[in-house]
Amino acid sequence: MKLRPVGILGTGKYVPEKVLTNADLEKMVETNDEWIVTRTGMKERHIAAEHEASSDLAYQASLIALKNAGIAPEDLDLIVVATITPDSAFPSTACLLQERLGAKKAAAFDLSAACSGFIYGLANASNFIATGMYKHALVIGAECLSKITDYTDRNTCILFGDGAGAVVLGEVPEGRGFQSFELGADGAGAELLKLAGGGSRCPSSVDSVQSGKHFIYMAGSEVFKFAVRIMGNAAEEALRKAGLAKGDIDLLVPHQANIRIIQASLNRLDLPEEKCMINLHKYGNVSAASIPIALAEADEEGRLKQGDCVVLVGFGGGLTWGASVIRW
């Protein structure tokens, strides 16, 4: 079977209004702006209002992506929402979004691969289009990490923010679009980054709430070491599969977890910082939404030019990782 070339037709992003600065965090936990900036690169994050959930952020980002793609919601065949903070365990956030958009004919599901979720979602949705089963797909990374963050834990609360990024996928001219995907997982690292409560292993209870099991737990330095190793490996493997080399990259769009992790990846790939999209100082780590927000911002800034080699790369809980090479 001949596969169709698939690419990104439009991007969009949305972050909630409220901003949480390092100065605000200094009043909440024992930390300081200097530590946060030098250890993470972060300065601000956006935080959802009490009434806002991931589907609300996803909806706003999707409207922009659809407009930029020139695609109507009724033309969507598939909606994939990558998230670790769905509105509820079920129905899926994708179904709530499908209804709100009026995407009547679209199949819809959520995907859980933590911070790698958006790249997993792209790989998934693009295959439906490549095989001819579907024409248009909406892939979103949407998170309200503030709702699962313990604001008394300085190890984690300085890192996370809320937001959503969306892309519309469809057929593109031969030679353009997705050139390769590299996806991976290592469940041996499952304990390093998790939210233990609320599932079938540890259902919600007074005890699960009182013992903080509904908050993110992270073994920071272990995850850091894994990230530094896997970001370079995944990007290089995706390039190899696409028949390209490090020197071919025009723009790297990495998961925005820590400026030191990004700098290590740039060293490994011999890339100058100008060839990298960095916006974690404004949004913090938004898990599955980090890469699509960065991609949409690169698009807004005119940093994605036709023919460019764009590499997306991320890692996250699971443990998981993913990378993709796109000819823009």
Tell me the window of 118-126, 219-227, 239-247, 305-313 that interacts with ligand UT7 (CB under 6 A).
219-227
Per-residue binder mask for ligand UT7 (CB under 6 A), 288-327, x = binder:
----------------------------x-----------
Site residues for ligand UT7, 152-191, by CB under 6 A, read: 154-155, 158
Does residue 39 touch ligand UT7 according to CB under 6 A?
Answer: yes
Q: One of 95, 124, 285, 309 is an active-site residue; which one?
A: 285
Of 247, 248, 267, which is closest to residue 259 (Cα–Cα)? 267
Smallest distance from ligand UT7 to CB 176, Å: 30
Q: One of 95, 115, 144, 157 is an active-site residue; which one?
A: 115
Per-residue binder mask for ligand UT7 (CB under 6 A), 243-282, x = binder:
--------------xx------------------------
Q: Kindly report the CA angle at 323 between 47 and 314, in degrees rounded to 5?
A: 30
Smaller CB distance to ligand UT7: residue 5 or 220? 220
Exactly one of 227, 230, 278, 304 binds ligand UT7 (CB under 6 A); that residue is: 227
**290 bridge partner residues:** none
Per-residue binder mask for ligand UT7 (CB under 6 A), 119-158, x = binder:
-----------------------------------xx--x
Does residue 38 touch ligand UT7 according to CB under 6 A?
Answer: no
Smaller CB distance to ligand UT7: residue 16 or 41? 41
- Catalytic site residue 22? no
Does residue 116 touch ligand UT7 according to CB under 6 A?
Answer: no
Cβ atoms 55, 94 nearer than 8 A: no
Is beta strand 309-316 parallel, antiparallel or unpaired with respect to 44-47? unpaired
Smaller CB distance to ligand UT7: residue 106 or 157? 157
Q: Kindly report the CA angle at 296 between 181 and 84, in degrees rounded to 5?
A: 65
b/e sequence 165-184, b meaning 16+ C-beta within 10 Å: bbbbbbbbeeebbbbbbbbb
Exactly one of 4, 33, 35, 176 binds ligand UT7 (CB under 6 A); that residue is: 35
Instruction: Report the run of H or E that residue 10 belongs to, with start and end.
Output: strand 6-14
Does residue 115 touch ligand UT7 according to CB under 6 A?
Answer: yes
Taking each helix axis as running N to C, give the angle between helix 220-241 and helix 259-268, from 0 to 180 degrees, rounded to the nearest 10: 40
> DSSP for 213-225?
TTS-EE-HHHHHH
Smaller CB distance to ligand UT7: residue 118 or 128? 118
Q: Around Cβ 209, how many Cβ atoms within 10 Å?
A: 13
Tell me the window of 95-103, 182-190, 214-222, 230-238 that interacts with ligand UT7 (CB under 6 A).
214-222
- Catalytic site residue 285? yes
Cβ-based neighbours of 2, under 8 Å, separated by 6 or more: none
Give the C-alpha separation, 55 to 61, whole Å. 10
Tell me the window of 56-64, 167-175, 179-187, 216-224 that interacts with ligand UT7 (CB under 6 A).
216-224
Question: Which amino acid would we find at residue 147?
Answer: K
Phi and psi (nearest 5°) for 208? -65, -35
> DSSP for 102-135?
T-TT-EEEEE--GGGHHHHHHHHHHHHHHTTS-S
Does residue 220 touch ligand UT7 according to CB under 6 A?
Answer: yes
Query: Which residues of the shown chain bind ligand UT7 in the complex (CB under 6 A)?
Result: 31, 35, 39-40, 115, 154-155, 158, 193, 218, 220-221, 223-224, 227, 257-258, 285, 287, 316
